[in-house]
Amino acid sequence: MGRWEPGARERMAAAALELYAERGFEQTTAADIAERAGVTERTFFRHFADKREVLFDGTSAFERTVLDGIAAAPPDASPLEAAVAGMRAVVPLLEQERGREFAARRAAIIAANTSLYERELLKMATLGLAGAQALRDRGAPEAAARLAAETAVTVFRVAFARWLGDGRGTGLDKCIRNAFADLRKLVAAPAQ
């Protein structure tokens, strides 16, 4: 097998998710993943630091996309609108590039393992802090920046869960816009 394996990375990611779902994350080794993907173990470690990295491979692209999305929001967007625009910017990455099936499998594996779930929470918390900085960089006042960034992450997390749980195939972008609209209603809601 040559050094250049078209699709090897994607095959390894798919194989890893299959194996984690079948046997559990703890019970799967890098060698198992390599074998299932039809590559050598050395190839696996050329692409991923360890078996956990397969699940968090997209973290830096995800964060960069959100931050670029915040920076690219219209200058007159409010801090919360800019933060939500940043979260919406990841839709192509998650929906078109990797797909809902991949996201659902990944989420199920993460939910079943506390240390993976903690890592995922850390990723989102880090994103909230970075998003707050991106909002400050575009002039958001201090009191608004962190709250807007964290709220946008919350809207995204709720929308993401709805996207995965939705039986009618509602797109992720629509789920984010719906959750944001729901937040507006919640905040505006008078007493029931």
Give the footprint of a copy of itself on this chain (CB under 8 A): 74-81, 114-115, 117-119, 121-122, 125, 139, 143-144, 146-148, 150-151, 153-155, 157-158, 161, 179, 182-192
CB of 73 to a copy of itself, least distance (A): 10
Considering the complex, state which of residue 96 and residue 114 has its C-beta at the smaller distance from a copy of itself: 114
What DSSP element (H or E) covers 135? helix 114-137
In the bound state with a copy of itself, the residue whose beta carbon lies nearer, of 7 and 75, is 75
Comparing CB distances to a copy of itself, the nearer of 41 and 182 is: 182
Q: How far apart are CA 14 and CA 1, in angstroms?
A: 19
For the CB of residue 155, give the shortest distance to a copy of itself in the complex, in Å: 7
Q: Which is nearer to a copy of itself, 102 or 117 (CB)?
A: 117
Is the four-CA dihedral 11, 60, 73, 107 of positive or negative sign? positive
Q: How far is the CB of 15 from a copy of itself (least distance, A)?
A: 27
CB of 106 to a copy of itself, least distance (A): 17
Q: Which of 22, 28, 21 is nearest to 51 (CA)?
A: 28
- Other beta carbons within 10 angstroms of residue 95's beta carbon come to 17
Structure tokens belonging to residue 104: 């659902």
CB of 61 to a copy of itself, least distance (A): 22
Q: Between residues 37 and 148, which has the closer beta carbon with respect to a copy of itself?
A: 148
Torsion of CA 58, 63, 64, 68, to 10 degrees: 140
Of the candidates 17, 13, 20, 22, the one whose C-alpha atom is nearest the C-alpha of residue 43 is 13
User: How far is the C-alpha of 160 from the C-alpha of 103, rounded, in Å?
Assistant: 9
